[in-house]
Structures are given as C-alpha cells and as structure tokens.
Amino acid sequence: MSIYFYGCMTLDGYLADRKHNLNWLYETGTTEETDYENFYNNMDITIMGKRTYDEISKSGDVKSVYPTTKNYVFTHSQEIQSGVVPVNCDVLEFVKQIDPDKNIWIVGGNTILSPLLDGDMVDSLIIQIAPVLLGAGIPLFTQKEALKRFSLKTVRQYGQFAELVYSK
C-alpha cells in the first residue's frame, strides 16, 4: 500500500483561509494545468475529511469528481452522497485495514494527514504551491513535533503552481 498526499497550499503554508474558503486556489489556476489526471489514474482509494467533502460537494456529485476510486469520508454524519462511504473511526486503524496493494490518496485536510504523518504512514507528498499569501488560515501541517524526513524527487512548474514531489 502506498499513501499519497496530493494537494495545494499557499506560499505561507495554508490549505484554506480561516473560514475554510478556497477561492484563492480557484482564482490561481485549474487542475488542467497540472499532472492531476495522471496522478488520479494511479489511485485506488480517496480518503478525506468532512470539510474537504463539503467543499467538493459544492461542485456537484463527489462520485463524478472521483469516478474510478473507492471514496471514503471521515464524518459523524450519515448524510453522505451515494458513491461515498462514511467512516467514523480512527484514521490509522482504518488505513491499516486496507488491502496492501492499493494506492491511497489523502485528499485535502490536515485532520486526516496529521495522524498518518504521526504514524509514519505517508509515502509521498505531492505539494503544489500557489503564489498566494494568506497570512492566516488552515495550515497544511499540524502533526506532532517530530523529525520526519522526505527526499525531494521532482520539481515542476504548472502555470502559476510550483509542484514539489517528496518520497519517504
């Protein structure tokens, strides 16, 4: 099993503004300007938190956004669109139960990413950096204090985005 974080942050390290708004991202560029499609085609599973799920739901049906993957959302709510499986348990224990031959994409938030980083389960970080400074917001990294070392594999430019690919 390989666990990937693939996402975008601001120059100052935020995923979203204080109100979980992503307008800064939408105003900067689109996935068509990146290698998103190639990345997604190699994924078997998506895992996201409720706020990420809500943001994706604004653009329509989550299953149409992620049509070929098994999609899980960590939530206390059972009111989730069809094609998405609600999960209400410890993220580490959940991920440990997944078939080891599957590629897992951690979509969005630090609520899911942090415990996986703490558990040394993230294999790759694919981080696109937008030329935006928010000054405050929801940070990408909120894991416990501990040295986590990754190796830089590639650096690419996609329009206004710089993409850094790191592996364990």
pLDDT average, residue stretch 3-8: 96
Asked whether residue 81 carries a pLDDT value surpassing 70, the answer given is yes
Burial of 79 (0-12, 13-18, 19+ CB in 10 A): exposed
- Residue 31 has a pLDDT of 67
The two three-digit tokens of residue 43, written as one number: 């994924």
Domains of the chain: 2-167 (3.40.430.10)
Q: What is the dihedral of CA 67, 2, 80, 61, to 10 degrees?
A: -20
Q: What angle do CA 99, 102, 104 make, to 5 degrees?
A: 115
Between 26 and 14, the more confident residue is 14
pLDDT average, residue stretch 82-98: 93
Asked whether residue 14 carries a pLDDT value surpassing 90, the answer given is yes
CB atoms within 10 A of CB 66: 20
Range with top average pLDDT, 49-63, 78-92, 132-146? 132-146
pLDDT average, residue stretch 113-126: 96
Name every residue whose Cβ is closer than 8 Å to that of residue 30 and which is 6 or more positions away in sequence.
none
- Residue 117 has a pLDDT of 96
The two three-digit tokens of residue 93, written as one number: 């224990």
Average pLDDT, the chain: 91
Per-residue pLDDT tens digits for 51-70: 888 888 887 778 888 999 99
Name every residue whose Cβ is closer than 8 Å to that of residue 64 and which is 6 or more positions away in sequence.
none
Between CA 115 and CA 111 the distance in angstroms is 7
